[in-house]
């Protein structure tokens, strides 16, 4: 019964899980300016709470078809106000959110994750020039803040786009191409990306889920537990806290 909000009233294709089984995604309501400001305040409040609760920092999720990504995309964002239209306008909400959070908790505690050209949730970004213009102006405006890092999900971390965005950001870059790159991030792939200087660090997902001592295993070149996808979204401890440590194998 909750309201569904988005930059524009566009439903994504496909179906989602509901109490009544799988149903088509509903059409969201286009956010009003007041709702955009309220969402910004919610982001800031959440970040403050994370720091108060003891987290070292917060990663702002501007990737993978979620709300911030939707604002950046010319397909998902068809607004005609100051939050839509030009690349600069589409970047505005993300710039505002990241800037406000950096002011609230300190830029050195804030990272941003983006996924340009990744069309999860129908957030299509198919025009390379527009992608460069949009993410370029985004990073030009964030660069002076001195954020902790930029984390980019892209199929080609060493390619022109990501490396241009790295120059525009001019800070620490983390990359990940897992779900698009065929198979999970491996030690070898991560090593290649670092040796080739595609990034300062590589983010690891599935290997870390399955190996509580992944760092020690990768340091020593030891074998790994295989992730069990059937347990990925399970509700209990199984698949979360019961993968064995190396010494127990
Ligand atoms: C169980 C699972 C859940 C995930 N959930 C999310 C999510 O909610 N939001 C998101 O942006 N990415 C999510 N991801 C994608 C990861 O952030 C990461 O990009 C992906 O796993 C690729 O990295 P890897 O090859 O190291 O696993 C998820 C991945 C897995 C395996």
User: For residue 47, which of 95, 105, 123, 132 has the smallest C-alpha distance?
Assistant: 105
Asked if the structure places residue 212 within a domain, the reply is no
Least trusted range by pLDDT, from 83-87, 90-94, 165-169, 245-249 = 245-249
Mean pLDDT of the residues in the chain: 95
In a domain, 178, yes or no: yes
Residue 19, domain member (yes or no):
no
Q: What is the pLDDT of residue 178?
A: 66
pTM: 0.95
Q: Would the CA dihedral through 145, 150, 156, 159 be positive or negative?
A: positive
CA 157 – CA 134 distance, rounded (Å): 18
Query: What proportion of the chain, given as a percentage, has pLDDT over 70?
Result: 99
Spell out a b/e string for 122-156, using b for 16 or more CB atoms within 10 Å of the CB, else e. Answer: bbebeeeeebbbbbbbbbebbeebebbbbbbbbbe
CA distance 28 to 43: 20
pLDDT tens-digit readout, 188-198: 999 999 999 99
Ligand 1 contact via 6 beta carbon (within 6 Å)? no
19-25-31 Cα angle (round to 5): 115
- Our answer on whether the CB atom of 179 is closer than 6 Å to any ligand 1 atom is yes
How many angstroms separate the Cα of 151 from the Cα of each of 61, 110, 199, 237, 240? 9, 11, 9, 28, 24
Count of structural domains, the chain: 1
63-77: average pLDDT = 97
- Ligand 1 binding pocket includes 232 (Cβ within 6 Å): yes
Expressed in angstroms and rounded, the spacing between residue 184 Cα and the centre of ligand 1 is 10
* Class of residue 30 by CB neighbours under 10 A (exposed 0-12, middle 13-18, buried 19+): middle
Give me the CATH number covering residue 29. 3.20.20.70
pLDDT at residue 218, rounded to an integer: 96
More confident: 8 or 18 = 8
Choice between 179 and 117, residue whose per-residue pLDDT is larger: 117
Most ligand 1 atoms within 8 A of CB, residue of 179, 189, 208, 225 to mutate? 179
In this prediction, residue 205 has a pLDDT band, given cuts at 50, 70 and 90, of very high
**Residue 67's CB: how many other CB atoms inside 10 A?**
19
Residue 150 lies in a domain: yes
Extended strands (E) in the chain:
5-6, 15-18, 21-24, 29-30, 58-62, 110-114, 149-153, 173-176, 201-202
| Structural domain boundaries enclosing 65 | 5-14+25-204
């Amino acid at each position: 019964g909750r309201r569904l909000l988005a930059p524009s009233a566009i439903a994504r294709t496909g179906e989602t899980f509901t109490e009544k089984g799988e149903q088509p995604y509903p059409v969201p309501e286009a956010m009003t300016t007041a709702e955009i400001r309220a969402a910004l305040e919610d982001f800031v409040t959440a970040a403050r709470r994370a720091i108060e609760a003891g987290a070292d920092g917060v990663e702002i999720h501007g990737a993978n078809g979620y709300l911030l990504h939707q604002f950046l995309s010319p397909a998902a964002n068809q607004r005609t106000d100051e939050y839509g239209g030009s690349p600069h306008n589409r970047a505005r909400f993300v710039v505002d959110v990241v800037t406000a959070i950096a002011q609230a908790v300190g830029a050195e505690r804030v990272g941003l994750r983006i996924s340009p050209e990744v069309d999860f949730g129908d957030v299509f970004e198919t025009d390379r020039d527009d992608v460069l213009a949009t993410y370029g102006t985004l990073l030009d405006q964030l660069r002076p803040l001195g954020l902790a890092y930029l984390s980019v999900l892209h199929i080609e971390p060493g390619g022109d786009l990501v490396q241009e965005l790295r120059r525009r950001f001019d800070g620490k870059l983390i990359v990940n191409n897992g779900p698009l790159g065929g198979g999970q991030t491996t030690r070898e792939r991560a090593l290649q990306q670092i040796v080739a200087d595609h990034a300062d660090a590589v983010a690891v997902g599935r290997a870390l889920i399955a190996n509580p001592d992944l760092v020690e295993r990768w340091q020593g070149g030891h074998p790994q537990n295989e992730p069990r996808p059937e347990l990925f979204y399970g509700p209990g401890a199984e698949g979360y806290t019961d993968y064995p440590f190396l010494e127990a194998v």
